[in-house]
A = this chain, B = another copy of it.
Amino acid sequence: MDKSNISKPTLRRLPVYLNYLKSLPEDTKTISATAVAGALGLNEVQVRKDLSAASRSGGKPKMGYDVTQLVADLEEFLGYRSTKSAVLIGVGRLGGALLSFKGFSECGIEIAAAFDNDPAKIGTAIGDIPIYDIRELGEVCQEKGILIGIITTNPTEAQTLCDKMLDSGILAIWNFSTAHLEVPDGIIVHNENLAVSLAMISHALEERMGTTEE
């Protein structure tokens, strides 16, 4: 199976299928692409195509997919079954919320450490994630072999911290700040921009209310 040819829209839908499959009653043994499409309000042909791209075992005619196997296939495909270590910088409200978020481990990501520059926070922990002085970033990252850096600081500090992370061997940045980050080729940046979501909602709402045509 060649994972590199998968389209971004398909990749966005796979965790949605996975989430739905996990929410099914435990005695659900098999499910058809038609049923998945119906439940999620998606196009059936699309669902069939997505699932066959990600599932090694495939569905059986008239039987559909074995739910347990399909869950395993999707998790394997999405890389959830090999754990990758991450650090988080900026233990404010958003950072704190992310440190408490239970969904990381299910996605194969473990936050190994958090960093802040507030003396009141350094040396404490959220859950079992220790909070270190930001000056220890390089040392901790190298020691623990960290691959993913999560930035939840304000935008003015983001680029400097991003550079430090890359110097410490980090390959992927999950950026919650509004800063635009400059990175060398080959480094992954995923921007989580609430303003983009707000724009999509605002725009859809204006259209819905019929105020868009001028």
Residues of B contacting A167 with CB < 8 Å?
Answer: none
Please give the number of chain A residues whose Cβ is less than 8 angstroms from any Cβ of chain B in the complex: 72
> How long is the Cα–Cα vector from A101 to B204 in the complex, in angstroms?
22
| Chain B contacts for A28, CB-based, 8 A | none
Determine the distance from Cα of A201 to Cα of B188 in the docked complex, in whole angstroms. 8
Would A208 and B172 be within 8 Å (CB), given that A1-B214, A178-B19, A202-B80 are in contact? yes
A129 to B93, CA, bound (A): 16
Contact B208 A4 (CB under 8 A): no
Chain B contacts of A178 at CB under 8 A? 19, 103
Contact check, A78 vs B202: say whether CB atoms are below 8 A apart. Answer: yes
Chain multiplicity (copies) = 2
A163 on the interface (CB 8 Å rule)? no
**A residues near B, CB below 8 A?**
1-4, 6, 8, 11-12, 14-16, 18-20, 23, 39-41, 78-80, 82, 84, 92-94, 96-97, 100-101, 103-104, 106-109, 147-148, 155, 171-172, 174, 178-180, 182, 186, 188, 190-209, 211-214
13 new A-B contacts, CB < 8 A, other than A18-B195, A79-B205, are: A3-B207, A4-B207, A4-B212, A11-B200, A11-B203, A15-B193, A16-B193, A23-B180, A80-B199, A171-B209, A174-B197, A190-B200, A190-B201
The contact sample of 17 A-B pairs, CB cut-off 8 A, is A3-B212, A3-B213, A6-B203, A11-B199, A12-B200, A41-B182, A78-B202, A80-B202, A82-B206, A92-B97, A93-B100, A96-B97, A103-B194, A106-B195, A148-B205, A172-B201, A188-B201
